[in-house]
Structures are given as structure tokens and as C-alpha cells.
């Protein structure tokens, strides 16, 4: 069932555009070119951040810090191995990608940790960035309870990701 979602969505998007008598192929080409431009912007970030995360891993810091934080994370049922990802996810999207890729490489992409990391990445956002963009644009000084509420949403995401990774596979 799930296997057909992405292929069918691809087809539906192309067919619906054709029905509107628009040039689906050219539109897709220009979209794909935009995507490549995005990748070019992301590439230097990934090089710098994977270097930093690789150093952190090689120095033993990730292991030691995960062990320290382990009691706190176990309390919520979140695997301590994903501690770095949980901490960096709300702050930086590209750093979270780097940490997530490192986790998948370290533990295997289809391992429990690799899957948990993927689900976490897919179901959360760069909270601090989002908040600053929206409040900056709307000219809001007092954010009231937005940050705590958004962080509660994030924490829920991390906990539920740990549960679904365990139960759905």
C-alpha cells in the first residue's frame, strides 16, 4: 500500500498539470533545477557539519555525552544514542541532517536507531528558526507561550518517533 503512494503522487501531479494544459515536463525541469540550486547551497553546510560531527564522534564525546544524558532520555523512552539529534534538531536543520546521517551510517540505516533518527527528522522542524522568521516578519516582540508550546510539540515528536520506530517495524 505505502509503496504505491509516492509513484502515484508523481503520476497524479504530472497528469493533473497536463489536464490544465500546462507543460508538465518543462515545469518539472525548472523545479528540478531549483532543487539542484538548493543542493548547491546545502553542500558546503554538509561538508562543514559532517566534519564537525565526525570529529565529535571520533573524539569519543558523543558516546560519553550520550551516556551522561542516558538517564534523562530513558525517562522519556528516547534512545540515548539519538541525544545529539534531539538537542540540535530545533536549532539547525542542516546540522540535524548531518547528525542524522552520521547515526544512520554508525548504526545502520534500517537499525532501530537509524529508523528512529529518520522518523525524528521527518516529523519535526527547525523550531527556533521558524519562530524567528515568523515573529520577525509579523513584528512581534512578546512571544508569550509560543516557544514552550512549540518545544512541547517537539518533545512529543521525539518520544512518539521512538515508540513508532519500535512498534511499526
Residues 82, 117 contacting (CB under 8 angstroms): yes
Helices (H), ranges, 59-126: 61-75, 83-88, 93-107, 112-123
Of the candidates 5, 98, 9, 93, the residue with the CA atom closest to the CA atom of residue 53: 98
Compare residues 70 and 146 and give the one whose CB is closer to another protein.
146
Q: Is 22 exposed, middle or buried (0-12, 13-18, 19+ CB in 10 A)?
A: exposed
- How many residues make contact with another protein (CB under 8 A)? 100
Distance between alpha carbon 97 and the CA centroid of its chain, in Å? Answer: 6
Stretch 74-133 residues interacting with another protein (CB under 8 A): 88, 91-92, 95, 97-98, 100-102, 104-105, 109-110, 114-115, 118-125, 127-128, 130-131, 133
**Residue 111 DSSP symbol:** S
Compare residues 75 and 137 and give the one whose CB is closer to another protein.
137
- We find the least distance from the C-beta atom of residue 47 to another protein, in angstroms, to be 3
Stretch 2-31 residues interacting with another protein (CB under 8 A): 2-3, 5-6, 9-10, 12-14, 16-17, 19-20, 22, 24, 27-31
- Identify which range of 66-74, 75-83, 138-146 contacts another protein by CB under 8 A: 138-146
What is the Cβ-side half-sphere exposure of residue 10, based on CA atoms within 13 angstroms? 7
Stretch 38-57 residues interacting with another protein (CB under 8 A): 38-39, 42-43, 46-57
Of the candidates 59, 161, 36, 46, the residue with the CA atom closest to the CA atom of residue 101: 46
- We find the least distance from the C-beta atom of residue 98 to another protein, in angstroms, to be 8
141 binds another protein per the rule CB under 8 A: yes
- We find the least distance from the C-beta atom of residue 25 to another protein, in angstroms, to be 9
- We find the least distance from the C-beta atom of residue 103 to another protein, in angstroms, to be 9
- SS3 assignment, position 30: helix
Amino acid at each position: 500500500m505505502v509503496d504505491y503512494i509516492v509513484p502515484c503522487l508523481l503520476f497524479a501531479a504530472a497528469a493533473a498539470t497536463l489536464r490544465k494544459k500546462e507543460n508538465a515536463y518543462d515545469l518539472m525541469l525548472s523545479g528540478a533545477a531549483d532543487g539542484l540550486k538548493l543542493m548547491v547551497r546545502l553542500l558546503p553546510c554538509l561538508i562543514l557539519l559532517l566534519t564537525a560531527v565526525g570529529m565529535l564522534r571520533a573524539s569519543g564525546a558523543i558516546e560519553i555525552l550520550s551516556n551522561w544524558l542516558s538517564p534523562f532520555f530513558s525517562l522519556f523512552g528516547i534512545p540515548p544514542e539519538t541525544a545529539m539529534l534531539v538537542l540540535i534538531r530545533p536549532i539547525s536543520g542542516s546540522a540535524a541532517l548531518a547528525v542524522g546521517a552520521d547515526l544512520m551510517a554508525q548504526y545502520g540505516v534500517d537499525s532501530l536507531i537509524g529508523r528512529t533518527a529518520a522518523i525524528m527528522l521527518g516529523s519535526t522542524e527547525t523550531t527556533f528558526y521558524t519562530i524567528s522568521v515568523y515573529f520577525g516578519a509579523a513584528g512581534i516582540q512578546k512571544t508569550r507561550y509560543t516557544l514552550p508550546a512549540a518545544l512541547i510539540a517537539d518533545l512529543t515528536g521525539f518520544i512518539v518517533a521512538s515508540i513508532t520506530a519500535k512498534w511499526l517495524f
